[in-house]
Structure 1
Amino acid sequence: MSNHEKTLLTTPFIPFTRPHFNQETIDAVAEVLRSGWVTSGPKLAEFETALSDYFGGRPVRCFANGTATMKIALQVAGIGPGDEVITTPISWVATSNVILSVGATPVFVDIDPVTRNIDLNKVAQAITPQTRALMPVYLSGLPVDMDQLYGLAKTHQLRVIEDAAQAFGSQWHGQKIGGIGDLVSFSFQANKNLSTIEGGCLVFNSVEEAKLAEKFRLQGLTRQGIDAMDVDVLGGKDNLTDVNAVIGLHQLLELPKFQARRGALARQYFDAIRSELKAASLESLSLELPVENFSDTNWHMFQVVLPLEQLQVDRAQVMTDLKDLGIGTGVHYPAITGFTLYKNLGYQLSDTPIAQRIGRSILTLPLFPGMADEDIGRIAAALVGILKKYANK
């Protein structure tokens, strides 16, 4: 066995993310299981109240996942066949799939190469008489310019459905994402900053829309007394259980600690990567780091864009080499317009060239609160060492 192989056997693997649940959370889940009430019940109500408090008293309803939240937001906004919704091509495909699922048409606007979010300066030219809503995505938790976003919405009389799946804990000029705005959708999936394992929530401007969302959440049902009910809209089965809700309650208590740790790790990434590039004499390499924003973003992910045009390698090989060194990575995300479903619908990658480039080059590095400080140095050294190996001479 080589020294390299021996080192890999004794060096812990670093996944690109790992959720954290403390003992109090585990005990609380056990208590719910013993209670006999494990589906939607008192813990869900408590969680929704806690979230409403967090968002400054705005109505909040929870759902089984972050895909359901976006679909129900579209339904609440009355969006359906014949309508267009403007969104970004760099997101998890759920963002555009839910638009299709209500019979509407996604309209993709290219991204800003620096923020990697939808380029709001290009949105106005994509608006048509059929446009009903804007659906921005806050990649890695970094919000778009909210003043510009809502200025566009007001000018063109559009609803805004914020896909803030990755942005729980993010801010815009000191105001919580979700504490302002129109319909704001969050995901609580396992890799999110606040996790209920699976789940999500919607933040509303009115109690009336929140009550309508409750109907869509559970088969369109309205109870009318102890023995009567009615169904007046077509709903689904998208309720969150008390087991998930109690996890969320405890995660909410730990959120400030999680946020501080993520920010500290992100700062170390900037320092370590720049230091390694300098030490390797690779300052001229066009490795694109994220926006260095420590006031608005929640540092859900730390992503770099690889300078593939300067390397004699593709992204898959870089990921494989990192894995061989005990480092997990992810791809968030390939451009949606490159998927077969969307190509068959007539979309073309070339319509959004910046998203096309970013989508084939972006790489997600490990970032989660349980990481050790020394993990950052190890990852930075490994990444830069691989880039040096493949850099064009």
Structure 2
Amino acid sequence: STGEQIITARGIDPAIEKKLNETPQVPFSQAEKKKVDDVLSRMKNEGKVSTIRYMFENRKTYGYIYHGETDVNAIDQLPFVFTDLGKTPQKWQIWGDLIQHKDSNLNQVQQAKQLIRNSTSQDLFVPIQTTPLWETGYFYYQKAPYYGLIIMPIVLTSVFSVFLVLGFAAFRQIKAFEQTAIWCGLAKETAHQLGTPISSLIGWIELLEEQKTAKDDPATNDIHTAMRKDTDRLQSITKRFSRIGSDPSKNKADVNQIIDEAVEYFQKRLPRHSARVKIIVNHGEIPQVTVNQELLQWVLENLIRNSLDAMDKPIGVIEVKSGYEQKKNQIIIEYYDNGKGILRGNQKKIFQPGMTTKKHGWGMGLALVKRIVEEYHKGKIKLVNSNSQGTQFNISLPVERN
């Protein structure tokens, strides 16, 4: 500042700074003037001031000099004309001696004006100005904390944390893909290994069927029929394993019928597990959906088998209900049992490959169930709740719109 005049300012207010940078400066409003005075007073009280020297732009133009083309080899012969602000020649030198206006004749003045016109058209002239003055002023300032030093470590830590989380997520994803590939390979290899003995069993059963025609024994006939059904089932299981990791074929099917087939298989074998386990089926009115029947039946059989293994009540109950949710256009299968439930610590891990609490088994049952429902059929399976009173799963399957 020079006296009470503010030359420039920074960090006060953008509107105030803009007015100071205008030429000429725009006057402040009362509120702006008070704000500047308050800031300046605070800086003065804090003693934040430095004396500076600066060139005050008070130049004044009092004339012009017009000249011809510059030639460094004949600079002393350079023609020129000095004029006043009205461009009236005052002093000039063109071909000979220096001529002043008061000593010139009309012809010499005309020659000077001609040079002015030529120089003007070629932009060969400069204004003659007074020398600017150096002034003494004061630089007031206030130290403010540089928040970049505070924020930058936080930003860097956040960025590093994000990269760390993304890297860990990518690592887990890669491990999950590897684990899935291992299980798919194991399933296909199991199907391949089962294929040979099953084919052999089928051959022996066919041989027995040929021989039983000679002996019409009802008991033998029943045994043959049961053996045939079991070998057919083994073939079906082999097909299921062979389709893991592949894109299975799907057709329109009645989910209620698939539920019945899965339940019927276990109904005949319940005495082996417990004579006091009931399987209740409640069918709702549902539209057909596009599914792979064998794989969806496997899903239900897996859930029933797990329920039978977890049954610890005197009277066991397994209930399967089907229904249609029109708003979301999907079929809902509600599956419930009154077994001992799943421990809270294991509930989030039950769909992970290899997760099992049994002494036997590979721990891939529910992992394959989730894969069949969600990846192959674009549905959803959810553990609704599980405690000592029982467990409930919900399966949703989308219905194709016509």
In proportion to residue count, which structure has more strand? 2
TM-score (norm 2): 0.18
